[in-house]
Chains A and B, each alone.
Chain A
Amino acid sequence: MLADLLHRLRALLARNAVERELDDELRFHLEHQIEAYEKAGLDRDEAVRRARVEFGGVAQIKEDYRDALGVRLLDDLRRDVRLAIRSLRATPAATAVAVLSLALVSGANTAIFSILTSLVLRALPVHEPERLVHVTDTVPRETGETRVRAWAYPAWEQIRQRPQLFEAATAWSFTRFNLSSGGETEFVDGIWADGGFFQTLGVPAAIGRVFGPIDDRRGGGPDGPVTVISFGYWQRHFGGAADAIGRSVQLNGVPFTIVGVTRPEFFGVEVGRSFDFIVPLQTEALIRGRDSVLDSAATNFLSILARLERGQSLEAAAAGLRRAQPEIREATIGGWSKDVRDRYLTSPFTVIPASTGYSNLRSSYERALVIIAAIVALVLLVGCVNVANLLLARAIGRRHELSMRLALGASRARLVRQLLTESLALATAGAALGLLVASYTSEFLVRQLSTAGNRVFLDVSIDGRVLAFTIAVTVLTALLFGTLPAFRAFRFAPLDALKSQGRSPADHTRSGVMGGLVSLQVALSLVLVVAAGLFIRSFTLLANRQLGLQPDRVMVVTIDPLRANVDPADRRALYERARQAVLRVPNVTDAAISQLTPAGGGGFTPPVALSTTGQPIRLDADGDVFGNLISPGWLRTFGMRLIAGRDLTDADRHGAPRVILVNETFVRRFLGPASPLGRTITLYPSSPRALPADIVGVVADAVYGSPRDPVPPTWYLPIAQFDVPEFPFSSARLSVRAGSGAPELLTKSLVAAISAVDPRLALTFRPLATQIDAALIRERLMAQLAGFLGVLALLLAALGLYGVTAYAVSRQRTEIAIRMALGAAPGRAVAMVLGRVSVLVGVGILAGTLASVWASTFVEGLIYDLAPRDPATLATSVIVLAAMAALATWFPARRAARMDPLAALRES
């Protein structure tokens, strides 16, 4: 047994030695046989002949020997692979192009796929994620997507006190903590989590312990305020040291003890985001002190996740929840206006599956990514068609060799097997290279998605699923472009070997297939170029949209006074002192305080009404009216234009007659053609804190939330005149305009100036230009990706066209040579070659145009300021493609024209 195995191994590994030994042994025998015959009296030649005859075929013996060892199949495969590699190396250019095309397209495909799986398909890294549900309500949201609503803490308490509804439930919210103790902030990502968070999710600690319900108390539990850190943070900041447990960290100035570290694969329950610290929910009271929202029924910030009992269906859980709904609602009604209350009371609670988590990232990017995936798949197709054509041309070129082999006795199956081995070898090389491309590309894409304030975390490591996908793509491409030439091989007749340049009827069908492939490539490339054009133009238009302000030299500083322990009533004065300090800094031309900044996120939409002679008219009945609280100098700081009336001044202070500015859209929509100046707007109408204000100026439209959205009707009220005592002003934005140079250069001096006012203020710096750009990330990404892929497709199509034309020229050499020898001008020869190719390209362009028009419906909603069927883009793309075709076919055509007819004829 062992001996047998050893022999087989030796035969496999030390082939040459084994072969030689066999040779020697047989030769030895043969020589002795000959000698014996000679001794018996035969002459030399006769002896040799007889010995040889008796010996039987030596080759046969060796074959039997090898067969007996069962290595024949392996032998054949090895030979096939070696032959494949050798023949691929014989045409280095074609092979390089094929491998490169395959690598690029399969790499891009794999990268997009791994991002998609991570974003959409990967289940949460928790225990039995299929039993997790989000608790939400069914209010339809404007965007039409199923958004999961946020809850207030009192509502969560009501649900927590009803454990019979689910097996377990928990609540959490994303937040940020400031690690620094004053001056510039150092933010880390955090999660407020209810005490039962880890138990409900079934997530244990990697080291140390996770916290539980006993730690979830307002002053901290028996161990005081505790926190659990993420594995990533543990590695980054503690180097994975075990003594991290027990250390104390300051979160927003409050000391917390680290009690545990989560496992590496746990990133939270929102896909696309990760955390550094998790703290018990009720310690929010410690961290935010006066500004705690735990008792506010109107601040919705918690997501509620529940685990269904085994066997409990979604409907049963929702029904149970709805039965408890009236009590929950009654307990949590706040001092709201009537219509808000009505809405709250009527929309039914429900539960939706949460196994893949809820993700803001996913909902914004899902459609875009699917479109990109479709584009990449198309590029893959183009790449494959390229390689198919390449191999087809090669196979036809080797017709001679293959027919010869057929004539010598090789089976067709053997030939097909060898051709398939070649394509498999190509596909494997391409896929291996592609994996490399994929890992770099997916990391690059994820990095592009992150902004300073919003780190994106997606696990795009190559896992089993991604690998399986790549292998499937590889095998499919191998089959796709391997079978075409292989089928042709079946049609080869051995007689073909004798015809050198002659044509067989099979030639025409072969050219037909190649031609069809070329048209397909051109059509696909046109669609991709149109898509790229649309996305690029859309992004450019969006980016160049009139913002209505001048962002370039503005720095936005977010001031957080929490640690400064200032009474909310005094905070405005504090901000104003900071503003005055900053105005004294050299190179600062303007500075202003406001609650919000353009494209800074958030929106302020208190109810607003227009005073008339009769009843005040509510203006926000049909849609939100947005506002901002600003200080004097704000319009100047942002470079916004005033088109009527006056700007705010220091005279508009607390106690003075209340004034307000509105923008053009506001005037257009609500106030009619007469001058709006002097009319009265009331915030919080029909309530004890109603704030009437007179319009004194009209501002030109400027971006409010996102450059993507149309400018909403907006009002601007002086901060000093916003007399709502309970409004916390928990943070403010100080916007600073630099006189010259980049705003970042001001950072140090600004920190110094503001810290001089109060060193415990937490400051976060962000140039306005960056803030606005961040709002357009999705469009920029689409434009970059589509552009890159469009160029790729164009290149591939050009390569394909070049190959096909070169092939056509070589096939028709004889004909062209004869014609030229007979006196035809070289131009005629060129026309002959290009004629057919032009028809193919034309067909492709036509088909591509139709396909683009049909496919344009899918990009609706992702294109701005542009019709999806924009004729200019379409026309430009057609011209680009035609130019590419002309360029690609020019070289081979020129070679045809320059051909020496006599030399060509002599060769055939």
Chain B
Amino acid sequence: MELPQGTLDVLILKTLALERQHGWAISERLHRISSATLQIKQGSLYPALHRLERKGWIKAKWSATENNRRAKYYELTKKGRAQLDAETEAWRRLSAVITQVLETV
């Protein structure tokens, strides 16, 4: 399914809201949560991750995984959490309005 522009960012933020994860885990989680509907191409995922990192909403750290391999873990920053809340609220309002318009006719 095609993702509207800019929504990938908020999805990533949401994924990281609970715990820090590396890129592969984020992609798997999104795949699972969306009931296998969303398959994020790595070509979009990593640029998005880097963009979010540059904006200061997530921060990255290299750590060891359970299998003792090195991976780059991302976690939400305080700014990111605030951004997530703001955007979630905005989405809710937007979708409520659109649903309302669509159902009224």
Contact = CB atoms under 8 A, between A and B. Distances in A.
Interface string A29-51: 11011001000000000000000
A65 B46 contact: yes
Interface string B64-105: 000001111000000000000000000000000000000000
A64 B70 contact: no
Contact of A55 (B28, B42, B47, B51): B42
B69 A26 contact: no
A29 B27 contact: yes
Contacts of A24: 70, 72
Contacts of B54: 3-4, 7, 68
B53 interface: yes
A61 B50 CA distance: 11
Contacts of B27: 29
Interface in A51-89: 54-57, 60-61, 64-65, 68
Contact of A28 (B23, B43, B47, B53): B23
Nearest to A28: B71
Nearest to B56: A3
A899 to B, nearest CB: 58
B28 to A, nearest CB: 8
Contacts of B47: 61, 64-65, 68
Describe A's contact surface by its main secondary structure. Answer: helix
A1 B46 CA distance: 20
Contacts of B50: 65, 68
Contacts of A57: 43
Nearest to A62: B46
B22 interface: yes
Nearest to B22: A28
Contacts of B22: 25, 28
Given A25-B23, A28-B23, A32-B24, A61 B46 contact: yes
B42 A56 contact: yes
A2 interface: yes
B78 to A, nearest CB: 13
A128 interface: no
A848 B43 CA distance: 67
Nearest to B25: A32
Given A21-B72, A29-B27, A54 B42 contact: yes
Contacts of A33: 24, 42
Contacts of A65: 46-47, 50
Tier of interface size on chain B: 20 to 34
A65 B23 CA distance: 15
Given A4-B54, A28-B71, A55 B43 contact: yes
B43 A26 contact: no
A503 B69 CA distance: 59
Interface string B8-47: 0000000000000011100110000000000001110011
A53 to B, nearest CB: 11
Contacts of A30: 42
Contacts of A28: 22-24, 69-72
Nearest to B39: A54
Contacts of B24: 28-29, 32-33
Nearest to A55: B42
Interface in A815-844: none
Interface in A435-484: none
Given A33-B24, A64-B47, A56 B41 contact: yes
B9 to A, nearest CB: 14
Contacts of A26: 42, 46
Contacts of B41: 54, 56
Contacts of B62: 21
Given A32-B24, A54-B41, A56-B41, A25 B55 contact: no
Contacts of B53: 3, 7
A763 B27 CA distance: 100
Contact of A68 (B42, B51, B72): B51
Contacts of B70: 24, 28
Interface string A15-28: 00000010011101
B59 to A, nearest CB: 8
Nearest to B45: A29
B51 A25 contact: no
Interface string A371-408: 00000000000000000000000000000000000000
A29 B56 contact: no
A55 B51 CA distance: 19
B46 A4 contact: no
Contacts of B51: 68
A318 B25 CA distance: 93
Contacts of A3: 53-56
Most buried by B among A2, A4, A32: A32
Given A4-B54, A32-B24, A25 B69 contact: no
A778 B27 CA distance: 84
A57 B41 CA distance: 11
A707 to B, nearest CB: 79
B42 A29 contact: yes
A21 B46 CA distance: 12
B43 A25 contact: no
A29 B49 CA distance: 13
A7 B52 CA distance: 12
A533 B46 CA distance: 73
A25 B46 contact: yes
B3 to A, nearest CB: 16
B43 A61 contact: yes
Interface in A186-202: none
Interface in A741-779: none
A21 B23 CA distance: 13
B46 A2 contact: no
A14 to B, nearest CB: 14
B93 to A, nearest CB: 27
- 10 tightest Cβ-Cβ pairs between the two chains A and B: A56-B43, A3-B56, A32-B24, A29-B24, A4-B54, A25-B72, A7-B54, A55-B42, A29-B23, A28-B71
13 contacts: A21-B72, A24-B70, A25-B23, A25-B46, A26-B42, A29-B46, A55-B42, A56-B41, A56-B42, A57-B43, A61-B47, A68-B50, A68-B54
Given A2-B56, A4-B55, A65-B50, 9 more contacts: A3-B54, A24-B72, A25-B46, A28-B24, A28-B71, A29-B46, A61-B42, A61-B46, A65-B47
